[in-house]
Chains A and B, each alone.
Chain A
Amino acid sequence: MATGISFVLFGAGTLLMSLVFLVFVRLAPVSQSTKQRWILSCIKGLSAFFVGFMQFLGLYTLEVRGQSLDSIRGNLIVANHPSLIDALFITAKTNDLCCVVKADLYSNPFTGYIVKLAGYIPNHSETLLNDAASAISQGKNLLIFPEGTRNTFDDQLDFKRGAANVALYSCCPITPVVIEFYPRNLQKGGKWYIAPARTSTIIMTTYPPLANLDEKDQQRPVTLQARQLTQTLRDFYQDRINEFDSRTDYTLVERGYPRHAG
């Protein structure tokens, strides 16, 4: 029920925001980049409200740990992707955030107009690297989910190399965010209308930027650096997930593993 309300609210919120921007912002006599900053601020505010609202409805408890995202600029933020609402936790906390998004958000009637106006970057774009570097040089932050889509269980970690390539091309630091979401809910293929037996706990932890590759590794072809950096990222997330194991008592099913896993 609470989930249903949230979906409706999200739909209404995005439509309303699209309408406001369509009618008022488009006609405002200010520069395109100012309009874009307005939209990004608006997305931040609405995300924060929505995240708080779902917590209020009892869908989950949310704990935010680690570094503050508030003051960072010109960083590539990466995160694992257990649920539908992951991006919102990050857009709620980060200023001037440009997201790299899946193609289907552009054809979705609720998010389509907003992602275009916000200047988000489609993940299959031929100009991805240039657009990303451009955003970083303007002091914006970028958000990329290296998995490209929601995972089903924690150590799936099927990281694509887009994030590493962007960081290398834009010469920007990578700030890793780790999202723990147990019991799993709103995951890919999940039945959102069936609430899990106990309220989900979400812990979002922001870590300090990853160290750059060694001097000697930076001499290698960029294709190999991207592979190495992606593996480093994977290892980082694997280590954090191993830490979850040692301090949680969730069942395998609550953690998204198939029932027959052993």
Chain B
Amino acid sequence: MRYTEDEIYRQLRETMQKLFELDSEKVVADARLYEDLDIDSIDAVNMIIEIKQVTGKPIAAQHFREARTVADVVRIVDQIVNYDA
């Protein structure tokens, strides 16, 4: 099934609330993962594992290596769940 961008944002906010106790209003497109949301590289790996479990899709950590903002993460998840085989 295809996920809309809104659904991906909603899911990401839920994941970030669960893993980092982040308020939803902080999880906006241009929020920077490290500087604004205090998500370091080990946090990012744990977040990817969680996203893998939620979407049921195989996701490799290196897809996210260049991700700097929430928008980047959403874009990458969108690519994986909606376009990749």
The answer to whether the Cβ of A224 comes within 8 Å of any Cβ in the partner chain is yes
Residues of A within 8 A of B10 (CB): none
How far, in angstroms, from A193 to B41 measured CA to CA in the complex?
A: 38
In chain A, residues 119-178, which have Cβ atoms closer than 8 Å to a Cβ of chain B? 124, 126, 128-129, 160-162, 165
How far, in angstroms, from A165 to B41 measured CA to CA in the complex?
A: 11
Binds A, one of B1-9, B16-24, B75-83: B16-24
The answer to whether the Cβ of B54 comes within 8 Å of any Cβ in the partner chain is no
The answer to whether the Cβ of B46 comes within 8 Å of any Cβ in the partner chain is yes
Residues of A within 8 A of B46 (CB): 221-223
Q: Are A161 and B18 in contact, CB atoms less than 8 angstroms apart?
A: no
Report whether over half of chain A's contact residues are helix, strand or loop; otherwise say mixed: helix
Q: Are A224 and B20 in contact, CB atoms less than 8 angstroms apart?
A: yes
Closest to B61 in A: A126
Residues of A within 8 A of B21 (CB): 224
Tally of chain B residues near chain A (CB < 8 A): 11
Closest to A160 in B: B40
Residues of B within 8 A of A223 (CB): 19-20, 43, 46-47
Q: What 14 additional pairs, Cβ within 8 angstroms, besides A221-B46, A223-B46?
A: A126-B41, A128-B42, A161-B40, A161-B43, A162-B42, A165-B42, A221-B18, A221-B19, A223-B19, A223-B20, A223-B43, A223-B47, A224-B20, A224-B21
The 5 closest A-B pairs by CB, nearest first: A223-B19, A165-B42, A223-B46, A221-B19, A223-B43
- Chain A interface residues toward B at CB < 8 A: 124, 126, 128-129, 160-162, 165, 221-224, 226-227
